[in-house]
């Protein structure tokens, strides 16, 4: 509230100055009229009194009145010139004082007229003089009402001296005339004051309205600016939504295309296996099925990873790792595609071991995604370089480069290559497979390893180079990664219970397990699984999670509540592969968790590990 009190006088002073300047301007607006009337009336009075009074006196009075009018005219002219300058506000006080001085000169002239032009024993001339002075006072009351100092300076001296001159004759008639003159003067002054208050109020109302209009205009301008900004933001947002919608539609079309592509060769390969085909044809058909299923698994895994990244649910398992084996594993993942395309892949690792602290599987995924792009977007017979360079001492960083002689990237596309679902080519013109999420995954995973990824290309047809910067860790004997040791073969046959409500999936998994020499039993719902497990006494249980009657979590919890199942290995095999799904499986009592489809090699490794004598 103190701020309001301090700001109010300032605003009020500003309004008072505005009103006073407007009142002064109004005085000067009426000045020409007052000057003209004064000259006319003074001339008439001089003419009337010329024959009956002193010629010298009448002439001197008329000359004075004309000079006073001329002075008032010069004052008005000076004011109008000054008011046109930028500093006109400073002229308000001086202009008002000058105008009052001019009014005082006019008042002095009319006071002199009431004295020197008053003819004794000439009633007609007396009446004419009184009416002339009274008329001048009424005119002054209207033209000078804007400012009190102006009309008081003119009315009071003129009215008082004229009334006194009338009363000075001394007879009863003149005394009454003097009294009436005094009353007339008071009434004129009061009327002028009321006029002044009305003028002041009108000016204040005018300026208040003007401020209100300016405030409304400013508010309108602000609202228009805000509307324009909102329109731009809405337009920009709409354009982005349309673009995202188009990219979503394109992604769904691409996803359908990429999922159908592997299904076609799988169907024909299966058809070939139905007939009595030569062994070479059957082998080729199985290879086709294996490659296409791997492609489908990769597509689904990438989609799941995108979902995890979007929800910030990817968790890395950091450990000291040797970079060279990671690069070798990534090269193995694309070796078949590179060979089929006739590419030359040059791999160069640092001469000294380089350690990075990270998640090995995720780093391999990063390298494989970039390498996979290099293979796909390089014409047959191309060249791909996969190198790693340890930075100079003091800079704990390694740069992994993947360069190719492929189709390159246009400058307009380059800034958006890391956008989710972004593809450089239209769907129908695209000659390579993919969902447009590999580089997005790679960048996010690299950033989660406190690194960065950069991509460069001179232009279309000039190849691409990707740089992956990763922090390194110091070499330590404790950080040495042991080479993978082959599993020791075991003649022990396991008893394996397969709980799966999809009959085809259950039968195929049973076939794969029995082919490895193990005894199997099937169950297709949760309740049957518990009954079968108590009768069959399995060593291993492959347990689906989404089951009728009782879900897999409940089955695992029930079995773990029975002492005879404490040492049974329960492996969750399910389509639910998020981090929280793995955690739920562990909390329910599962020893391991596999996302469908379970790879044959992983199945064999798991069963061989469980069958090791150390687990007996």
Least confident of 157-166, 178-187, 278-287: 278-287
- Whether the domain at 319-476 and the domain at 495-615 fall into the same CATH topology: no
Ranges 83-97, 279-293, 504-518, most confident: 504-518
* Residue 138 tokens, joined: 């009424």
Using alpha carbons, select from 386, 371, 388 the residue that is nearest to residue 323.
388
Residue 190 sits at the vertex; the CA angle it makes with 184 and 191, to the nearest 5 degrees, is: 85
Count of Cβ atoms closer than 10 Å to residue 501 Cβ: 17
Structure tokens at 363: 């780093």
pLDDT of the residue at 426: 42
Q: Which tokens belong to 540? A: 């291993």
Q: What does the pLDDT read at residue 166?
A: 82
pLDDT band at 71 (very low <50, low <70, confident <90, very high): very high
Higher pLDDT, 385 or 279: 385
* pLDDT value for 3: 46
Is the pLDDT score of 318 beyond 60? yes
CB 545 within 8 A of CB 505: no
What is 319-476's CATH number?
Answer: 3.30.565.10
Name the average pLDDT for the chain.
82
Task: Decide which of 3.40.640.10, 3.40.50.2300, 3.40.50.460, 1.10.10.10 is the CATH code for 495-615.
Answer: 3.40.50.2300
The confidence score (pLDDT) of residue 134 equals: 85
Mean pLDDT of 90-112: 85
Residue 601: pLDDT above 60? yes
pLDDT band at 502 (very low <50, low <70, confident <90, very high): confident
Domain boundaries along the sequence of the chain: 15-220, 270-309, 319-476, 495-615
Reported confidence tier of residue 477, pLDDT bands at 50, 70, 90: very low
pLDDT confidence of residue 234: 92
Q: pLDDT digit string (tens) for 419-450?
A: 655 554 443 333 444 445 677 778 888 888 89
Question: What's the pLDDT at 4?
Answer: 47
User: Does residue 186 register a pLDDT over 90?
Assistant: yes
Crossing angle of helices 123-143 and 172-274, in 10° steps, is 20
471 pLDDT higher than 50: yes
What does the alpha-carbon distance between residue 342 and residue 336 come to, in Å, rounded to a whole number?
Answer: 10
Q: How confident is the model at residue 486 (pLDDT cuts 50, 70, 90)?
A: very low
Residue 586 has pLDDT above 70, yes or no: yes
pLDDT for the residue 416: 73
């Amino acid at each position: 509230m103190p701020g309001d009190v301090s700001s109010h006088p300032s605003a009020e002073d500003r309004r008072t100055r505005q009103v006073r300047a407007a009142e002064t301007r109004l005085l000067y607006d009426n000045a020409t009229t007052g000057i003209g009337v004064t000259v006319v009336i003074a001339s008439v009075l001089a003419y009337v009194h010329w024959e009956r009074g002193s010629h010298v006196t009448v002439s001197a009075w008329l000359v004075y009145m004309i000079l006073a009018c001329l002075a008032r005219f010069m004052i008005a002219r000076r004011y109008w010139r000054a008011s046109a300058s930028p500093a006109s506000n400073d002229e308000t006080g001086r202009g008002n004082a000058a105008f009052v001085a001019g009014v005082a000169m006019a008042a002095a002239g009319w006071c002199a007229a009431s004295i020197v032009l008053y003819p004794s024993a000439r009633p007609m001339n007396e009446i004419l003089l009184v009416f002339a002075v009274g008329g001048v006072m009424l005119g002054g009351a209207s033209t000078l009402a804007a400012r009190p100092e102006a009309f008081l300076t003119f009315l009071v001296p003129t009215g008082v001296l004229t009334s006194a001159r009338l009363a000075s004759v001394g007879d009863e008639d003149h005394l009454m005339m003097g009294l009436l003159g005094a009353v007339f003067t008071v009434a004129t002054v009061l009327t002028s004051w009321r006029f002044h208050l009305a003028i002041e109020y009108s000016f204040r109302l005018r300026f208040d309205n003007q401020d209100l209009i300016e405030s409304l205009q400013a508010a309108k301008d602000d609202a228009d600016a805000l509307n324009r900004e909102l329109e731009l933001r809405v337009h920009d947002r709409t354009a982005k939504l349309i673009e995202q919608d188009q990219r979503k539609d394109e992604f769904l079309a691409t996803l359908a295309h990429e999922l159908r592509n592997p299904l076609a060769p799988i169907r024909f390969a299966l058809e070939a296996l139905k007939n009595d085909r030569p062994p070479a044809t059957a082998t080729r058909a199985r290879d086709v099925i294996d490659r296409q299923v791997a492609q489908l698994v990769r597509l689904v895994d990438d989609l799941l990873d995108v979902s995890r990244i979007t929800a910030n649910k990817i968790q890395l398992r950091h450990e000291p790792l040797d970079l060279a084996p990671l690069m070798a594993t990534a090269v193995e993942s694309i070796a078949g595609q590179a060979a089929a395309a006739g590419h030359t892949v040059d791999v160069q690792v640092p001469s000294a071991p380089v350690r990075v602290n990270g998640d090995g599987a995720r780093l391999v995924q990063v390298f494989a995604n970039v390498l996979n792009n290099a293979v796909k977007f390089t014409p047959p017979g191309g060249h791909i370089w996969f190198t790693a360079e340890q930075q100079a001492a003091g800079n704990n960083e390694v740069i992994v480069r993947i360069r190719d002689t492929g189709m390159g990237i246009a400058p307009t596309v380059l800034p958006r290559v890391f956008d989710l679902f972004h593809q450089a080519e239209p769907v129908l013109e695209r000659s390579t497979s993919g969902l447009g999420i590999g580089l997005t995954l790679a960048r996010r995973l690299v950033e989660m390893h406190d690194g960065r990824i950069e991509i460069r290309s001179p232009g279309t047809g000039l190849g691409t180079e990707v740089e992956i910067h990763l922090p390194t860790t110091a070499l330590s004997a404790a950080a040495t990664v042991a080479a993978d040791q082959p599993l020791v073969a075991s003649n022990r046959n396991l008893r394996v219970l397969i709980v799966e409500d999809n009959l085809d999936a259950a039968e195929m998994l049973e076939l794969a397990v029995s082919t490895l020499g193990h005894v199997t039993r099937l169950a297709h719902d949760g309740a049957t699984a518990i009954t079968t497990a108590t009768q069959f006494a399995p060593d291993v249980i492959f347990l689906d999670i989404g089951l009728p009657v009782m879900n897999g979590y409940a089955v695992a919890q029930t079995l773990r509540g029975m002492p005879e199942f404490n040492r049974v290995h329960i492996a969750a095999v399910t389509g639910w592969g998020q981090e929280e799904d793995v955690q739920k499986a562990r909390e329910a009592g599962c020893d391991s968790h596999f996302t469908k489809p379970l790879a044959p090699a992983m199945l064999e490794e798991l069963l061989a590990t469980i069958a090791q004598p150390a687990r007996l």
